[in-house]
Chains A and B, each alone.
Chain A
Amino acid sequence: MIDHIEKNGEQKEDRMLDRLDRRRLRLAGLGLVVATALVLVAGAVAGPRAAACGDVVLNENSWVGSTANVYVIKNVLETRLKCKVKVLNITEGQPAFQAMADGKIDIVLEDWQNLPGTPYEKSKSVVSLGTNGITGVIGWYIPRYLLQQYPAMKTWRGIRGKESVFKSPESGSQGMFLGGDPSYVQKDRALIKGLGLNLKHVVAGAEPAQVARWTQLYKQKKPVLFYWYDPQYLNAQYQVVQVQLPKRTATCKDDEKKGGDPKQYACAYPSYRLDKLVSKEFLASGSPALKLVRAFKWTSKDQNVVANLISGKKLSKDKAAAQWVKANAKTVNAWLK
């Protein structure tokens, strides 16, 4: 908060405060009317309100890792800082950013570098607070058992010539490459072309649909080659290994929508820094929750533990988070210092 304002010139600061004031006034007026109406018509029902921290809105995304982040932070906010936390489920990417710009979401705890390059980054209505401690890895994966029969498949070269191992009902004589969720960064079509592999890119749809495809093959100990990532709690349940793709070079391209020569894409995916994002309004609010979010940092192992409690052990999200927070008081205390 403080360094944020210091960065601005004095004039800018004045203008901002002025703007904020006007806006607050308007908001307060509107709020008063709405509140009175609600009190009169429906009666006040809200329970005891936390004084210090106030309301904080977190956004939960569709993958379990994100759920783990959100509910752990929710637990700490509620139990330690006495905040009133609301969790939204706005779809990731642009809709969530717009919601942040509108002040409807305060915090996103895991962004796979979707923010850079959007108008929201340029207008600073959504601001990155840096890494949540986890590095995201995207790549080509195969089940570990496959390596017993085809040890060379550790790298992409081992797949060349053996593509038909991955044959499926829809791939004809070619091997099947099972593509990823539409919301994830992908360049597999270009990669296949660039590497000259005889694979057919088959879209499996959203993540749960893709999981259905590859886990069924896994359970039957059949070969399967698919787009996958880490951290992912299923990686603890299923033994999968990454296929080494050609090393990254300076000219490496990653978003196949940009087009061009497929050869330029023929290199491994980059690793992703998973960022915490906050809205401009929340950044200026000086909420104690902001301090916690700044300090929040954990590992993919931590995240997988919580994710597995939710998805594997079927604990409720709140219970799973509470269990982890209790067992990791030291880490949590460090966030609150």
Chain B
Amino acid sequence: MSGVVAEASTVVTPALSHRPWWRGQPVQVALVIAAMWLAYRALRLEYPWPSRLAWETLQFELDRFQVWLIEQRSAEDKNVVFAVFDGFRALIDDLVRWLEELLLWLTWVGTGAAGTLVVWRFGGLRAALITLAAFALFALTGLWAESVQTLALMLAAVGLSLAVGIPLGIAAGRSRQVARFLTPVLDAAQIVPAFAYLMPVVILFSVGPAAAVVATMVYAIPPAVRITALGIRGVPVNTVEAAASMGSTRTQMLTKVQLPLARRMVLLGVNQTILFALSMVVIAGLIGGGGLGAVVNSGLSSTPSVALLAGLVIVVMAIALDRATEAIAERTDPARRHLDAARLRIVRLQTAAVAAGIVVVIAAAKLAGVGSTYPPAAGVRQRTVTAQEWLLTRIQSVLDYVQDPTSWIFSVTEPTGIFILQKLLLPLQQFLVEGPWFTTLLGLTFVAFVVSGLRPALTTFVMLGAIGVTGVWGLAMDTLSQVLVATLIAVVIGVGLGIAAAESKLVSKAMRPVNDVLQTLPQLVYIIPFIYLMPVSIVPGIVAGVLYAFPVVVRLVERGLHDVAPQSVEAAGAFGATRRQVLTKVKIPLAGDAIMLGVNQGIIMVLAVVVIGGLVGSGGLGYEVAQGLVRGYFGQGVIASFAILALGITLDRVTQGTRKARKEGLG
């Protein structure tokens, strides 16, 4: 059966093995953990990481470095490096300001009409309606000015992220060396919490749009690179070989074969980049991004309903951008456009009509004296109606219910939270934090060895050792316990829903908006109300991690299952395989890489919100990072971020190791 599948598939896939790849491993892992547990029971709290093995002045050295940087920055004779940064900053600042001024100059009617018509022309009616609804919402919430500011910022950030990310992704997809070099850089960019580099970004780029764009780009570039590379690599080898044998040059190969065939993946990368960028709006707001991010930040402690409203506007903006780009990409897909001369003329006429329509609307709006925003800026007399008050009252009544400890739901959620905390999180936390450091270190290394081999085990040992040496062993073990729990839950939910979404159109349709909301709604605006329902530490942070991570797992798993070559599925069907057999014996093994990428990304996403956890009562490394930024403990923030990164690299290599191990097992 398996041999037939491999032959039938156009994708070159190693033959499937009947032996489960993990045979024996669970037993070994259980033995190691049992030994660790015995040591924990016997020597609990007696061996914290010894101070003789810690580099205690590191933090102060790092603090001194920041002071030096600040002094250099404000020095009279700017050194060349800073001059370059200044130029770059001015460029991006101007770009964003120009975009914003443009959107304001068009007037709110003009901007809305132009956006909708452009999307309608290139993306079709459905996407245009979504775009129109988004603009209507900006106006109705009374947050037009803020929305436009954020929109300008995000257009710039996404555009620049793609301009950097896609070429890098192509390079990484075509060359193993480039990929090997880029991977750790991307890991770092995605895992190191933005809170840790906000201050250096502010020192180099000051505050304002440029700093906000740079901070956003650091986070939004990695998905563009990764997914583009995956797409290029996923182009069937025999197609590439065929093209090469026909004498294609490298450029031809790229533009005529690899890119067109990887188009779907590249576009998935674009969508992910948009969502990742939009998820940075609030953090960008901390360093001068302004717009909706600033509304969320200033609303969190004073008026949570306003923060929530602004959060929802961010989500709608993300969905509209995502749908519009997707629809435009689909409609302009050369593979689907078969235009004859007559049809082409009609299309050109349509374009001209749309352009003329936009000009007419803008001219009319200008002549009628329509304001640049809706409602117009203070001072301009114009009758306006927004739904802001109404929406805020509704949101507030939900918040009031949530904050009421006598409500029915509280009597369910509070005990649930306490149960999870006391039965799951605290025991695991104590086990890792309070066990003797050497058994924990060796035990985890050994687990890594059993699960995925020697190299990942060495990585684990070195990374955990480095965490200990930098003096944050206890905090890191605390965070590790939380990350493990959150990742486990996220992967279970994500793989399950991903499979369901791939098998059922209905689930897939229903999942999409859920994914979009969870990936772009600023975590703090919903986690803080959630604390009222579950007033215990750690659990809200776990919830934030799970909710942020599982959508990515769902997306990648679903996409992976979809991209399984249809011939394999048909062949299996022809041999009389049931739907379930097709799924478990054909689709899932063939989509293995994409699924493992999902698990891998899930871990990275969980780590990316460790700081949010720190802000909602998870403590650990996240709290240290957040405190480092605001209290000026630069060293503390960097060390804690490094520890988060070290945990990330460890977990990443160990899960990637299993992927390789499985491949070898398959071969």
Closest residue of chain A to B419 (Cβ to Cβ) is A169
Report whether B74 and A91 are in contact in the complex, using a CB–CB cutoff of 8 Å: no
A-B contact pairs, 20 of them (CB 8 A): A37-B98, A38-B101, A47-B379, A62-B298, A89-B297, A94-B629, A94-B630, A94-B632, A101-B73, A114-B632, A118-B632, A169-B417, A182-B626, A182-B627, A183-B627, A202-B619, A208-B300, A209-B528, A212-B532, A257-B636
Report whether A98 and B630 are in contact in the complex, using a CB–CB cutoff of 8 Å: no
Report whether A204 and B298 are in contact in the complex, using a CB–CB cutoff of 8 Å: no
Report whether A89 and B418 are in contact in the complex, using a CB–CB cutoff of 8 Å: no
Whether A219 touches B405, Cβ cut-off 8 Å, given contacts A98-B70, A169-B418, A212-B528, is yes
Identify which of residues 143-169 in chain A touch chain B, using a CB-to-CB cut-off of 8 Å: 168-169
Q: How far is the CA of A204 from the CA of B631 in the complex (A)?
A: 17
Identify which of residues 58-95 in chain B touch chain A, using a CB-to-CB cut-off of 8 Å: 67, 70-71, 73-74, 76, 90, 94
Q: How many residues of B contact A (CB 8 A)?
A: 77
Whether A206 touches B90, Cβ cut-off 8 Å, given contacts A42-B105, A212-B528, A314-B396, is no
The interface bits of chain B over 518-547 (1 if a CB of A lies within 8 angstroms of the residue's CB, else 0) are: 000000100111011001111010000000
- Closest chain-B Cβ to A112's Cβ sits at a distance in Å of 11
| In the complex, chain B residues whose CB is within 8 Å of the CB of A51 | none
| In the complex, chain B residues whose CB is within 8 Å of the CB of A88 | 207, 288, 290, 294
Given A119, A120, A202, A212, which contacts B531 in the complex, CB threshold below 8 Å? Answer: A212
Closest residue of chain B to A318 (Cβ to Cβ) is B378
CB of B190 closer than 8 Å to a CB of A: no
Whether A99 touches B538, Cβ cut-off 8 Å, given contacts A41-B102, A205-B615, is no
Report whether B614 and A205 are in contact in the complex, using a CB–CB cutoff of 8 Å: yes
CB of A310 closer than 8 Å to a CB of B: yes
- Closest chain-B Cβ to A71's Cβ sits at a distance in Å of 10
Report whether B286 and A98 are in contact in the complex, using a CB–CB cutoff of 8 Å: no
Report whether A216 and B535 are in contact in the complex, using a CB–CB cutoff of 8 Å: yes
Whether A170 touches B286, Cβ cut-off 8 Å, given contacts A42-B105, A62-B297, A205-B615, is no
Closest residue of chain A to B204 (Cβ to Cβ) is A98
Report whether A64 and B301 are in contact in the complex, using a CB–CB cutoff of 8 Å: yes
Report whether B630 and A91 are in contact in the complex, using a CB–CB cutoff of 8 Å: yes
Identify which of residues 1-20 in chain A touch chain B, using a CB-to-CB cut-off of 8 Å: 19
Report whether A311 and B303 are in contact in the complex, using a CB–CB cutoff of 8 Å: yes
Q: How many residues of A contact B (CB 8 A)?
A: 64
Q: How far is the CA of A19 from the CA of B74 in the complex (A)?
A: 13
CB of B144 closer than 8 Å to a CB of A: no
The interface bits of chain B over 273-286 (1 if a CB of A lies within 8 angstroms of the residue's CB, else 0) are: 00000000000011
Report whether A99 and B206 are in contact in the complex, using a CB–CB cutoff of 8 Å: yes
CB of B377 closer than 8 Å to a CB of A: yes
Report whether B67 and A119 are in contact in the complex, using a CB–CB cutoff of 8 Å: yes
- Add 18 more A-B contacts to A93-B629, A169-B418 (CB < 8 A): A37-B98, A38-B98, A89-B290, A90-B207, A90-B287, A93-B632, A95-B629, A98-B70, A98-B73, A99-B207, A102-B207, A119-B71, A169-B422, A203-B619, A212-B528, A213-B617, A219-B406, A257-B636
Report whether A101 and B74 are in contact in the complex, using a CB–CB cutoff of 8 Å: yes
Report whether B74 and A104 are in contact in the complex, using a CB–CB cutoff of 8 Å: no
CB of A92 closer than 8 Å to a CB of B: yes
The 8 closest A-B pairs by CB, nearest first: A183-B630, A182-B627, A212-B531, A89-B294, A102-B206, A99-B207, A91-B286, A205-B617
| In the complex, chain A residues whose CB is within 8 Å of the CB of B634 | 94
Q: How far is the CA of A104 from the CA of B377 in the complex (A)?
A: 23
- Closest chain-A Cβ to B496's Cβ sits at a distance in Å of 29
Report whether B614 and A310 are in contact in the complex, using a CB–CB cutoff of 8 Å: no
Q: How far is the CA of A85 from the CA of B641 in the complex (A)?
A: 37
| In the complex, chain B residues whose CB is within 8 Å of the CB of A104 | 206-208, 288
| In the complex, chain A residues whose CB is within 8 Å of the CB of B392 | 314
A: which residues have CB within 8 A of B?
Answer: 19, 30, 34, 37-38, 41-43, 45, 47, 60, 62-64, 67, 88-95, 98-99, 101-102, 104-105, 114, 118-120, 123, 125, 168-170, 182-183, 185, 202-213, 215-217, 219-220, 257, 307, 310-311, 314, 318
Whether A89 touches B285, Cβ cut-off 8 Å, given contacts A203-B619, A204-B617, A314-B392, is yes
| Interface 9-residue window, one of B10-18, B195-203, B325-333, B348-356 | B195-203
Given B298, B406, B417, B535, which contacts A67 in the complex, CB threshold below 8 Å? Answer: B298
Q: How far is the CA of A114 from the CA of B633 in the complex (A)?
A: 12
| In the complex, chain B residues whose CB is within 8 Å of the CB of A114 | 631-632
Whether A170 touches B297, Cβ cut-off 8 Å, given contacts A34-B94, A206-B626, is no
| In the complex, chain B residues whose CB is within 8 Å of the CB of A89 | 285-286, 290, 294, 297-298
Report whether A95 and B287 are in contact in the complex, using a CB–CB cutoff of 8 Å: yes
- Closest chain-B Cβ to A210's Cβ sits at a distance in Å of 8
CB of B248 closer than 8 Å to a CB of A: no
Report whether B535 and A217 are in contact in the complex, using a CB–CB cutoff of 8 Å: yes
Closest residue of chain B to A78 (Cβ to Cβ) is B378
- Closest chain-B Cβ to A33's Cβ sits at a distance in Å of 9
Report whether B288 and A62 are in contact in the complex, using a CB–CB cutoff of 8 Å: no
Q: How far is the CA of A238 from the CA of B33 in the complex (A)?
A: 48
Report whether A92 and B630 are in contact in the complex, using a CB–CB cutoff of 8 Å: yes
Closest residue of chain A to B420 (Cβ to Cβ) is A169
Report whether B98 and A42 are in contact in the complex, using a CB–CB cutoff of 8 Å: yes
Report whether A209 and B615 are in contact in the complex, using a CB–CB cutoff of 8 Å: yes
Report whether A209 and B617 are in contact in the complex, using a CB–CB cutoff of 8 Å: yes
CB of B372 closer than 8 Å to a CB of A: yes
Q: How far is the CA of A47 from the CA of B208 in the complex (A)?
A: 22
| In the complex, chain B residues whose CB is within 8 Å of the CB of A183 | 626-627, 630-631
- Closest chain-B Cβ to A225's Cβ sits at a distance in Å of 15
